[in-house]
Structure 1
Amino acid sequence: FSLMCQILKSGETGTKPASFPLSQGDHDGSKIRFTPVTFSMCVPLGRIFLSAVYDFAKMAFPDFAALEDEHKGLCISKCVQMVSMLDGSYRAEHHFPNDLDTHFTSYTTIANGETFETFLDDCSYVANKEEAIEAMKSSLTRTKSMCRELFHRLKPDSVEFTSLLGLGFWNNGVSFVNEELSAAVQRNRAQILKEMHQVYKSRRKIDYASRLGELLSLLDNMEENATLTIQDVQVYRLYNVYNE
């Protein structure tokens, strides 16, 4: 995961203009400057994220590394929304614990109801800007309700988050691609859950079953929201957004 974050940070830094201050004050860039996402950023940031998830998976999961290239691509396409939501929720909880309306859209960009007012300013061909913005705000509100608020209440620690990231990567959508991926999903999810049980037992957490159930419910919510987010894109296309 640290590798994935480094790729995202370096890749997104490279997309900034030369005049752009990269940090909040530290010359080493350790305090990243978060900026509102705009339409023109989405494609390059999305490509960087796909590349980072690919490299993360290749190092973290031997089963993924052993897949044929075509199946690797299918796997990434089915998990990228889940990984993005988990990563964004975890980092939002860290950087904006008291602002549940602000969401990460990438490693260095954020969005909320206010920033969406200018999101389409650099999109010259949107059909109905006002309606498109309202549709996007509605999606953000749903994400807050289904994901961000529950994540905030549960506050997964670093070990729990890493486990959720693995389970989110090997999600149900991946298992539907073919028998090979279905077997990989079952194998990896079983191993991750086994390790979670061992961690809770080592912590002498007697009532961990209820905690684990809540975390899995969070994961279910995110999986449902990921599906709805993909459907949202079809709505945006009615306004001539994301049609390229």
Structure 2
Amino acid sequence: SGFRNLCISSNHRPIISRLRDSYKFVCNIKSFVIIKFQNDESNPIDQRTETTQFFPATIGSMDTAKRVFLSALIPFASSVFPEFGSFDDQEQKTIIMNFWFRFHPFEATYRADKAFPDHMDRDAGGYTTYICGDLADFFLSDCPDAVRVEDAKKLISKTSKVSFTKNREFIARLKPHHEEFLAVIGIMFWTLESRLVSEETIQLSDRYRHDILQELHVYYREELGMDDYAARLGELLTLVQIFEKFEVMKEFFELLRLLDVFSDDNLAYKLIKE
């Protein structure tokens, strides 16, 4: 039964189980805040990830969505990885920002694959919004008056048709199970550069990555009954590098800023400049 499987997963996959609960918490925060922001009278209980209604994004709505997303990540990290709460503020910030530049594009692509299987040029710009080149006019509708509209539309269209589509095709082919998705975000969280954090944190990251991989082995063998899963696991782990998007996002947002799509106080732009 589903209850029995849940008990088994909690006992044999404790980290992935915590990731599941905490990711649900992140989704709930994003859902509730967006409902309030939109002054929507919908019942929050009805707002579930798999049934979310999506609307075209604007640059303003995307900025709001990023602020909400980031605000949820420290409680997310503390609930999944208890040691995180003992890190100093600077190390917490370093880890969260390193994580966000992978997690955000990965989750956006993963959710877009479920929401828009027939529209490969769409990406989930926020919890209830999507971006695509065909709707570039709407995306730019709340930009400053100085925006260079035609150049910005070309940039968004190219990003949609090339970058979004490339990411979507990989996810569509691999079709990660939710358990695999959770494991990947856990590994992304602990994929750190040694120059940025302490030696103790690097050792902790090695242990967590090892433990999450062990839980994936248990999932493949005991729940899916798979013996030969090495190739799939290898492809799954490439997602950690495929969605390392800091440089790509940096270039994209710097170009948008040059085209006056937003001002210097745009969150994503500020983050890439830090």
TM, length-normalised to structure 1: 0.87
1:3 aligns with 2:38: no
Give CA deviations for 1:44-100 in whole Å, capped at 9, x if unaligned: 221100012222111111232221122212211111121112222222222222222
Match of 1:210 in 2: 231
1:139 aligns with 2:139: no
1:6–1:43 CA distance, 2 compared to 1 (3 A): same
Identity among equivalent pairs (%)? 29
CA contact (8 A) 1:22 1:33 kept: no
Say which is worse superposed, 84-93 or 49-58, in terms of deviation.
84-93
Match of 1:178 in 2: 197
Structure 1 unmatched runs, 5+: none
CA root-mean-square deviation: 2.3
Pick one of 207, 210, 226 that aligns with 1:187.
207
CA contact (8 A) 2:103 2:188 kept: yes
Pick one of 150, 153, 158 that aligns with 2:173.
153
Secondary structure of 2:248's partner?
Answer: helix
User: Given residue 208 of structure 1, which amino acid in structure 2 is its aligned partner?
Assistant: Y
User: Given residue 204 of structure 1, which amino acid in structure 2 is its aligned partner?
Assistant: G
Give CA deviations for 1:140-164 in whole Å, capped at 9, x if unaligned: 3333244211001000111111101
Secondary structure of 1:104's partner?
Answer: coil
Distance 2:203 2:158 in 1: 37
1:221 aligns with 2:253: no
Q: Structure 1 residue runs of 4+, over 4 Å off?
A: 20-23, 26-31
Secondary structure of 1:233's partner?
Answer: helix
CA contact (8 A) 1:89 1:148 kept: yes
More helix by share: 2
Task: Return the structure number with greater relative CO, CA threshold 8 A, min gap 6.
Answer: 2
1:51 aligns with 2:71: yes
Q: How many equivalent residue pairs?
A: 238
User: Given residue 33 of structure 2, which amino acid in structure 1 is its aligned partner?
Assistant: G
